[in-house]
Amino acid sequence: MTHEALLSRLLERHGRTYADEAGITPADKPAPLFQLLVLSHLLSANLSADLGVRAARAMRQEYRTADAMAEADDDARHAVLSEARFLRKRKTAELLGRTARLVVEVYDGDLRRLRDRAYGDRDGVAALVREMPGIGEVGADIFCREVQAVWPSLRPCSDSRMADAARALGLPHTARGLADATGSDDLSVVGAALIRCSLADDAEELRAG
């Protein structure tokens, strides 16, 4: 099967970003960028992606901006996470509050300032995201993977999980190789599709045609 045909099958089955699933409309504006940071935090919690997306959707409905989340107390955030049936609610509520306050205090609630501090560099952005309470390498990778949809300076953006999934499918596994194969430097959708494929463990099925 050609790369083009395989990518078509992959995107047909898994071609949806996690931001879209969580109801976040990508835009280079403070509110959706903060919502994407919260989503990245929740998806990196080593729980199911469905749990992370559901909790992110609930948090977005209650706290659309960093200021709104920073002003809430831990009990209020805990209640939202409980309603979404998220696990590790107490610790997550506390970490999200600390993250929101950091975004407000350091970046004036606007993560475009973070991007600018990193000079738009992917590794620089990832390093600054890792400074957020409770967000490690996985969370930073998720943020960069999805935010490239609205931050062109990060493109083409890939990571080790995307590369492993691409190898399993027999696709190019570098960021440049994937961009050439897809015909676009924006790998946000194909990146999410590769992660979903890895989680579903259906690479062999997709390759079989």
* Residue for token pair 């620089």: 124
Alpha-carbon span 39 to 61, nearest angstrom:
12
203 CB-contact burial (10 Å; exposed 0-12 / middle 13-18 / buried 19+)? buried
Last residue of a domain, one of 102, 120, 147: 147
State the pLDDT at residue 147. Answer: 98
Co-location of 129 and 167 in the same domain: no
Alpha-carbon span 1 to 80, nearest angstrom:
46
Q: Are 192 and 16 in contact (CB under 8 A)?
A: yes
State the pLDDT at residue 145. Answer: 98
User: In angstroms, what CA-CA distances link 176 with 58, 88, 172, 173?
Assistant: 35, 38, 8, 8
Co-location of 29 and 121 in the same domain: yes
Last residue of a domain, one of 121, 147, 173: 147
Co-location of 49 and 103 in the same domain: yes
State the pLDDT at residue 137. Answer: 96
Co-location of 134 and 47 in the same domain: yes
Last residue of a domain, one of 116, 147, 178: 147
What would the two tokens of residue 109 be? 């609630």
| Domain boundaries, position 203 | 3-17+156-208
State the pLDDT at residue 47. Answer: 72
C-alpha count within 13 angstroms, C-beta hemisphere, residue 74: 9
Q: Is the pTM of this model over 0.85?
A: yes
Q: Within the chain, what is the greatest distance between any pair of CA atoms? A: 53
Co-location of 77 and 140 in the same domain: yes
State the pLDDT at residue 102. Answer: 98
Co-location of 201 and 162 in the same domain: yes
Q: How many domains does the chain have?
A: 2
State the pLDDT at residue 48. Answer: 86
pLDDT under 70: residue ranges of the chain: none
Alpha-carbon span 192 to 198, nearest angstrom:
10
Co-location of 47 and 135 in the same domain: yes
Co-location of 32 and 120 in the same domain: yes
